[in-house]
Chain A
């Protein structure tokens, strides 16, 4: 397969471990560069079943620091690791300072880790539009475990569920009020709760509060979120954190939910892609639509309202039933 004549050279380079080719292809994905479509198509079957671990949670709780110590732990165990870490883009200039790399500590010249920073580029939900594809590319490139660190906006970065096989929600002690506001979304996404900065006072209390909340909520698909206390500075609880993640991954395999979840994620992805295309196409067509201009005149003249105009356009142009 790998050496097949029909495999594009770029795909072959990535499969052969060419880090530069991988990095450049990620850039192309981010930029929506269709010249890598054939490469991605060729690599898709290689993106097998690597666990994709999402790390999400409010600003500054220690997501990147945890990532660094988890990478250390996995490297000791001989596992290779691919990372995508997302930071926000400025809505005004489109620029971004990507700082998740600051916490990364790894042995010099270790090719077993590939760390990529990514700007959200205006996407809400804590990840960029291309994050899913980039995580898949890292898996195809052969990394054993993929991590995705979300923006950390303070809201719940729900989009991670469309990407990760296991989602870790990171919190810190004394997040009392914040937990209250996050609560609604928290349990939708958390497979594991990590109370980080357990070296600070109040960690026990936070873990207890959380377990009460977890006990109140119904277990999703038969999995009750595991709560782990960690400290990256001491460090402590890191093995327990990884064990909790592994336990969830095993649960997915034992219950057959891995396949079911994967199917649901892919279905959502295909739907998203079609919606995007249709949205663009419709916007473009309406741009030149004389009927739109005719209706617009009447809306401006307060003869009909915008909803009525949209309804009429939809009925004459798009309704199939």
Chain B
């Protein structure tokens, strides 16, 4: 409804859906995005897909980042994309990282996850991608 002012900082939600307790990667990414001047809402561990979507809408984020190392991504990511669409928020870009096999990553990207990063990705690459996704045309 309100077109965003380009002057405001980028707002990103970093969430860990599911029961996965590996939170190092999510925290590292959150800090890197903060250091790039973004406002990062870190929602913590064990979020249901519903909670992730609710947080994204209440916080009016420009970008959603999901982190999963437990292997549950094929169940959780599509569910989140579906819920976003149901809320007419399918335009909010979603990117992700963690332990996600290449074959799964290909399929998830087809479903609408915009970028997926595995272990060893440089933080610079993640920051650049976040900036592009958050500011680029949806």
List chain A positions with a Cβ less than 8 A from chain B. 9-10, 13, 19-21, 23-28, 30-33, 35-36, 89-90, 93-99, 101-103, 108-109, 114-117, 119
Is A98 within 8 A of B40, CB to CB?
Answer: yes
Is B1 within 8 A of A21, CB to CB?
Answer: yes
* Complex interface: chain A residues within 8 A of B38 (CB): 95-96
List chain B positions with a Cβ less than 8 A from chain A. 1-5, 7-9, 11, 30-31, 33-44, 48, 50-51, 54-55, 57-60, 87-89
The 5 closest A-B pairs by CB, nearest first: A102-B44, A31-B8, A95-B34, A23-B60, A95-B37
* Complex interface: chain A residues within 8 A of B2 (CB): 10, 24-25, 27-28, 33, 35-36
Is B60 within 8 A of A108, CB to CB?
Answer: no
**Which residue of A is nearest B48, CB measured?**
A108
Majority secondary structure, B binding face = loop
A-B contact count (CB 8 A): 98
Is A96 within 8 A of B5, CB to CB?
Answer: no
Is B58 within 8 A of A23, CB to CB?
Answer: yes
Query: When the two chains form the complex, which single residue of B40, B44, B50 contacts A96, counting CB atoms closer than 8 Å?
Result: B40
* Complex interface: chain B residues within 8 A of A103 (CB): 44
Is A95 within 8 A of B35, CB to CB?
Answer: yes
Given the interface pairs A10-B2, A13-B1, A109-B50, the reply to whether A26 lies near B60 with Cβ below 8 Å is yes
User: Can you list 27 A-B pairs, Cβ within 8 angstroms, ordered by A?
Assistant: A13-B1, A20-B60, A20-B89, A23-B57, A23-B58, A23-B60, A24-B60, A25-B2, A27-B2, A27-B4, A28-B5, A93-B35, A93-B37, A94-B37, A95-B37, A95-B39, A96-B38, A96-B40, A98-B39, A98-B40, A101-B55, A102-B43, A108-B51, A114-B58, A115-B55, A117-B41, A119-B39
Return B62 CB to nearest CB of chain A, in Å: 9
* Complex interface: chain B residues within 8 A of A97 (CB): 30-31, 34, 40, 42
